[in-house]
Amino acid sequence: MSQLPNNFGFADPEQIADTTRELTYIAAISEALREEMRRDPNVFVMGEDIGGTFGGAFKVTKGFTDEFGEKRVLNMPMAELGFVGAATGMALMGLRPVIEMQFADFISTAFDSIVQFAATNHYRWGAAVPWVIRAPSDGGLRSGPFHSQNPEAWFVHTPGLKVVAPATPADAKGLLLAAIRDDNPVIYFESKPLYRSEKGYVPPGDYVVPIGQANLARTGNDLSIITYGAQVREALTAAEQLAVEDIDVEVLDLRTLKPLDTEAILTTARKTGKVLIVHSANRLVGVGAEVAAIISDQAFEWLDAPIRRLGGLDTPIPFSPPLEDAYRPNAAKIVQMAKELAAF
């Protein structure tokens, strides 16, 4: 895949000295958008109901019209194929659109605009397509099959795209800034379960997390859990529970799904020799399958047990709370599988 370089800016250490500053995950996304729109007049937002007093389904852009005006906060009709195509045209002309999919589930309507055209432009004729699609994804909120999906594997499979999935407020801000400044089209998956429940330190100002670098969220020696998005929190909860039983778990947060941080994946696999891969998306042909393939191909001799994977079931996401809980990975299921892996 032919890709363009990033235009990264990094935070001044003096700007991030106040470690008491905390934001929710969704507030960090909103702050990143607002700060980047102030910094770069070519950045604008577009999506369904994002302008005016509404500010989108999750209020991320509430107040943006008052500050930036209607020409930079564009309300779109329910026509994702059309407005993603329009965003591609705008990006080709030098603008930097940030597109809000009201829910990640609706991204399939825009599939042709994304994979057939935006993703192939740089390879075909050297053109940058610097747009970002914000895709609110994941379930656990009893929203059923049309508002709970995790379609990241479609886009990881597509040459020409980058795909990120932050798990913390700091990474939500830092990866969104990196995505907006990247000259490639980037799909930015935000985890709805984390929106208002996950709170943490977020550096102020120009804080960028480079695309393509995983984060070691917890160190350990007995086994590795490799995950991303909302399952990072579940994995860390499971790791604390397993520590009580003297099982020392390392947790690797991928953060970027394309390009994968292969070196970080191999380093943790070689260190512990036992690997559990977890994601909310259904397990079949998920991102975890590619991670497992990388490990089996390049770290097989370090393994002390088969690579295990935990993901959603191969079914649409149920509305029913008991059925959704059965469908979805959680800390308890991670603990159970990790115990089996540790005892192997």
Q: What is the pTM of this model?
A: 0.93
3-state SS assignment for residue 258: strand
CB crowding 222-254: b at 16 or more within 10 Å, else e: bbbbbbbbbbbbbbbebbebbeeeebebbbbbb
The CATH-assigned architecture of domain 13-201 is 3-Layer(aba) Sandwich (3.40)
pLDDT at 18: 56
Is 215-342 assigned to CATH 3.40.50.920?
yes
Q: Locate the domains of the chain by residue range.
A: 13-201, 215-342
Ranges under pLDDT 50 in the chain: 1-17
157 noted as active-site residue: no
Residue of 122, 147, 157, 279 with catalytic role = 147
pLDDT at 261: 98
**Contact yes or no for 276/225 (Cβ under 8 A):** yes
Alpha-carbon distances of 41 from 22, 33, 35, 72, 241, rounded to whole Å:
27, 12, 11, 9, 48
